[in-house]
Amino acid sequence: MPTVRGLAPARLGVDGTSYDLQMSGAARRTSCLLPRLASRGWEPVLFVSQASAPAFRALPGVTVVPLRTPAHPAPLRRLLARRPMEEAIRELGITLFLTEIPPAPEGLPFVLNLHDTRAFDRPETLRPGRRLWLRRTLPEAVARAAAVIVPSAATAERVEAWFPQARPRVVPNGGDHFPVALRPPAREDFLLAVGPWDRRKNLPLLLEAHRRLAPRPPLVLAGLRRRPRGAAPEVEVGRPDDLELAGLYRRAAVTVCPSDWEGFGLPLAEALAQACPVVASDLPAHREVGGAAVRYFPSGSVEGLVRALEEVRRRPPSPALLLQQAGRHPWRLGAEALDQVLRQVAARAWASQRTRRATPVRKASPATRTRS
């Protein structure tokens, strides 16, 4: 069994029980990082709900443990998953834990994976139950965590603002998880926007901007089952698999990222990796990922989005510029950063355990026992 710098066996538990059938950014991050950790000597054990387990079974080097628990709501999921997860942790000899949904199992050092600070900065973008759960559990989880990791420097800044003691470490996402086209793609005149479509994704703003375009190109909304109410006739919806989504990125004239809050901006990174022009809301995380290769518009501005789309459709950036920026965000960098964090946490846990074993237990003297 592999070890980490001579320490105890590097068996890492990972909580993925919040993932559902749709591949969210959090699930993508996990599925891209864990195989790379496995290649570095770790033995990841991923806990997921039974419904979502098939999406992760093919991850190389990763043991998947399905649990009979729903992905939502969080309190019910945690209640049903707690006992079987703790039993599996004991049976499999897991020594370290990675989680994004608190609380973590008792008695294990854990790394807390924070994707964003919406629960505190933009609570209105969350459903009331989830907002309450995160605002109640995150402060204690941050205080207990052996380390806190985030996907971007922009998110690290917000975490430090809310939790000065956290000292978050940046473990960046990547965009190079889809196959790259061997030939330059043939662009078609349609717009692409990729979910999941929660409130922060600004779907109403995108639909209004699309209605104002003249001529109006098709708009493909990936991640939706039904057409939104009031959408123009040119709007198409669907839930593509990875190969289909990669093909959409390669063919789209523009990928639109209209969110009003992001911790990273995975669709932006995915689009750049396929040399697809991007129009994105002007957010710190989007700037961090897209650099000078992306056309930005003021967040929340329909007029700004319309102007940006018209400009990029007339004068798209060069594929070379887009791919150059995409090259700054490989998953390899995230895996290296996470590997380093986990090694440091494991080393501290091992040293603390060794110190406790080496510290003699003082016995009370006869005089002390008599006095008591």
Per-residue model confidence (pLDDT) at position 136: 92
CATH of domain 191-326: 3.40.50.2000
59 in helix, strand or coil?
Answer: coil
Per-residue model confidence (pLDDT) at position 153: 98
* 59-83 pLDDT, tens digit each: 999 999 999 999 888 888 888 998 9
* 168-227 pLDDT, tens digit each: 999 999 999 998 776 767 899 999 999 988 888 999 999 999 999 999 999 999 999 899
Per-residue model confidence (pLDDT) at position 371: 43
Confidence of residue 352 (pLDDT cuts 50, 70, 90): confident
Confidence of residue 356 (pLDDT cuts 50, 70, 90): low
Per-residue model confidence (pLDDT) at position 2: 44
pLDDT over 50 at 283, yes or no: yes
8 A C-beta contact, residue 331 and residue 32: yes
Beta bridge partners of 12: 44, 96
* 114-161 pLDDT, tens digit each: 999 999 999 999 989 889 989 999 999 999 999 999 999 999 999 999
Average pLDDT, the chain: 90
| Interatomic CA distance for residues 145 and 169, integer angstroms | 12
| Interatomic CA distance for residues 351 and 359, integer angstroms | 12
DSSP 215-282: S---EEEET-SSPPTT--TTEEEE---HHHHHHHHHH-SEEEE--S--SS-HHHHHHHHTT--EEEE-
pLDDT over 90 at 31, yes or no: yes
| Interatomic CA distance for residues 41 and 15, integer angstroms | 19
Domain ranges of the chain: 11-174+330-358, 191-326
38 phi and psi, to 5 degrees? -60, -35
Question: Same CATH topology for 11-174+330-358 and 191-326?
Answer: yes
Residue that is written with structure tokens 């990922």 in the block: 289
For residue 11, the surrounding DSSP H or E stretch is strand 11-15
pLDDT over 60 at 1, yes or no: no
pLDDT over 80 at 355, yes or no: no
Report the length, in residues, of the chain. Answer: 372
| Interatomic CA distance for residues 286 and 294, integer angstroms | 9
**Rounded to the nearest 10 degrees, how much is the dihedral formed by the CA atoms of 341, 335, 195, 199?**
10
pLDDT over 90 at 50, yes or no: yes
Q: Which has more pLDDT, 79 or 310?
A: 310
Per-residue model confidence (pLDDT) at position 8: 43
Per-residue model confidence (pLDDT) at position 358: 62
Per-residue model confidence (pLDDT) at position 114: 96
| Interatomic CA distance for residues 38 and 358, integer angstroms | 32
Per-residue model confidence (pLDDT) at position 368: 45
CA distances from 134 to 102, 115, 125, 287, 364 (A): 8, 12, 13, 27, 46
125 in helix, strand or coil?
Answer: helix
Closest CA to 4 of 341, 354, 355: 341
Per-residue model confidence (pLDDT) at position 75: 83
333 in helix, strand or coil?
Answer: helix
Query: Which percentage of the chain shows pLDDT scores above 90?
Result: 77
Closest CA to 9 of 34, 35, 44: 44
| Interatomic CA distance for residues 46 and 32, integer angstroms | 13
CATH of domain 11-174+330-358: 3.40.50.2000
* 233-269 pLDDT, tens digit each: 999 999 999 999 999 999 999 999 999 999 999 999 9
8 A C-beta contact, residue 218 and residue 234: yes
End-to-end CA gap in the chain: 50
246: which residues sit within 8 A by CB, 6+ positions away?
A: 178, 179, 274
Per-residue model confidence (pLDDT) at position 30: 96
Burial of 36 (0-12, 13-18, 19+ CB in 10 A): buried
8 A C-beta contact, residue 15 and residue 97: yes
pTM of model > 0.75: yes
Closest CA to 331 of 44, 33, 16, 43: 33
Helix pair 203-212, 302-314: axis angle to 10 deg: 60
Q: Which two tokens stand for residue 56?
A: 């992760």
